[in-house]
A and B are shown apart, each in its own frame.
Chain A
Amino acid sequence: EAQVTQNPRYLITVTGKKLTVTCSQNMNHEYMSWYRQDPGLGLRQIYYSMNVEVTDKGDVPEGYKVSRKEKRNFPLILESPSPNQTSLYFCASSPGLRYEQYFGPGTRLTVT
């Protein structure tokens, strides 16, 4: 089954404790991206990657890091989480932005 998986689905952590949210797709898509969803703001793009070792900032990259060492994986790293990063995070993949995005199930992160 074609899918995008994210782990964990729910995470509660404390300020400053480094965390990684994993994202994996099995569709051989070149394009992957991370979004955060906040009430009243819709989805905002954090980072995206057009292929292995090619990443770029989206609209809200501050406080986040990503890497793309393999085509299927695109982890999101929060080196020092802060409460303003409490949000619902979605990973997505697609053959390119001309096409629809395939979204993961979402990760709800709470930073206290």
Chain B
Amino acid sequence: AQKVTQAQTEISVVEKEDVTLDCVYETRDTTYYLFWYKQPPSGELVFLIRRNSFDEQNEISGRYSWNFQKSTSSFNFTITASQVVDSAVYFCALSRELVQGAQKLVFGQGTRLTINP
């Protein structure tokens, strides 16, 4: 079965600290896609990054970085020098294409990140 686990329900840090959000996934597929989304207090869902299962290169975008490791089925997200505006709920998600073109998308439970000034 396809599953995404974000074991950290809530994280609270002081501004400027680095913080890592964990994401562990389960799938038997060889081709799949991983995503991170941000949900700020205003409620909308904002896309952050996509990774396919054949691309294990780490990604850096400003203060954000992602570490994809197939060997441990993890796709962790690190915020460097956190800021109050980073406070949000973050979701990790896994998608796959089934036979006959059907598609499934599964989200983790989310991690609520609070950055305190």
Contacts and interface: CB of A to CB of B under 8 A. Distances in A.
Interface string A21-51: 0000000000101010000111111001010
A103 B45 contact: yes
A94 to B, nearest CB: 9
A105 interface: yes
Contacts of B33: 97-98
Interface in B62-104: 91, 93, 95-97, 101-104
B28 to A, nearest CB: 17
A40 B109 contact: yes
B100 to A, nearest CB: 10
Contacts of A92: 45
Contact of B97 (A44, A97, A103): A97
A92 to B, nearest CB: 8
B35 to A, nearest CB: 6
B107 interface: yes
Instruction: Please classify how large the interface on chain B is, using the bins under 10, 10 to 19, 20 to 34, 35 or more.
Output: 20 to 34
Contact of B96 (A31, A50, A97, A103): A97
Contact of B103 (A40, A42, A48): A48
Interface string A78-112: 00000000001010100011111111011000000
Contacts of A44: 107
- Centre residue among B35, B45, B97, B108 by max chain A CB count within 10 A: B45
Given A90-B45, A100-B35, A42 B107 contact: yes
Q: Which 8 A-B pairs have the closest CB atoms?
A: A97-B103, A97-B95, A100-B47, A103-B45, A43-B107, A42-B107, A42-B109, A42-B110
Interface of A: 31, 33, 35, 40-45, 48, 50, 56, 58-59, 88, 90, 92, 96-103, 105-106
Interface of B: 4, 6, 9, 33, 35, 37, 43-45, 47, 50, 52, 91, 93, 95-97, 101-110
Given A42-B91, A103-B44, 7 more contacts: A43-B93, A45-B105, A45-B106, A58-B104, A96-B103, A97-B95, A97-B96
